Amino acid sequence: MPMKKLFTLLLLGLTCAFTAKAQDDFPLQFAYSDGTIIPDGTVLTLDDAEEDIFGDVQIPSGLFVKNTSGSEVRGGATYVIRSIPGGTFQTCFPSNCTQQTRPGEYTTQSDVLAAGELKNMQTEWFPGDKEGTAVVTYQLLTFKQNVITKKWNKDKEGPTVTLSFVYGTSDGIASIQGSKGKIQDESYLDMLGRTVRMPRQGLYVKRTVLSDGTVVTRKVAAK
């Protein structure tokens, strides 16, 4: 192999490793309700529709943000609505609730998360009477105050997670598989984050690895 090509491959490998390490060290991380960290780049398939207190159908993300550092962090997020067949996408992170009905890129306001805080993002899709899949990619941010204007501006970009809300479709993974690749491996995590090959009765997170490296997770109930 030519030395120039070998050097390029080594440089790319080091860059990818550095990026992954940087995301692991980022003070804000996506997490489940029990505090288990969701790996950067995870795709979550969400198809558990329920009624809210007003009788409207919603599909909650179940997504939390954890401040893994030992000090308070001012954070927020950008999110890209890649597709939405109808209804309303709502997110209340980090503080104020906002609603969107069209594809596009949006940035939340910023707020402080205390050291070790696990904050519910209160993020869901209200599909209304529209069946299909709404896809939203989130990226966590930290904010830094401008010493002159005193305004809080975006500072650093952190991990990402993609939410695939599925309504009226029986196979959520199939919709992702068609564009991402074939299923390569499947495993289950219990609510303590332990890997289980043969789930028994209870709630689990099913982890599906596709051939291109994409990881899809979804909550399932074993009976």
pLDDT in tens, 118-159: 999 999 999 988 889 999 999 999 999 999 998 999 999 999
Model's pTM, two decimal places? Answer: 0.68
| pLDDT given for residue 143 in this prediction | 96
CATH fold, domain 3-170, is: Immunoglobulin-like (2.60.40)
CA 187 to CA 199: how far, in whole Å?
Answer: 9
Whether 75 and 110 have beta carbons less than 8 Å apart is answered as yes
Residue whose entry in the numeric block shows the structure tokens 């789930």: 199
CA 94 to CA 143: how far, in whole Å?
Answer: 12
Query: What sign does the dihedral 34-46-81-86 (CA atoms) show?
Result: negative
68 versus 178: which is more confidently predicted?
A: 68
CA 114 to CA 210: how far, in whole Å?
Answer: 36
CA 203 to CA 197: how far, in whole Å?
Answer: 14
What does the pLDDT look like over 184-211, one tens digit per residue? 777 777 766 677 767 777 777 777 777 7
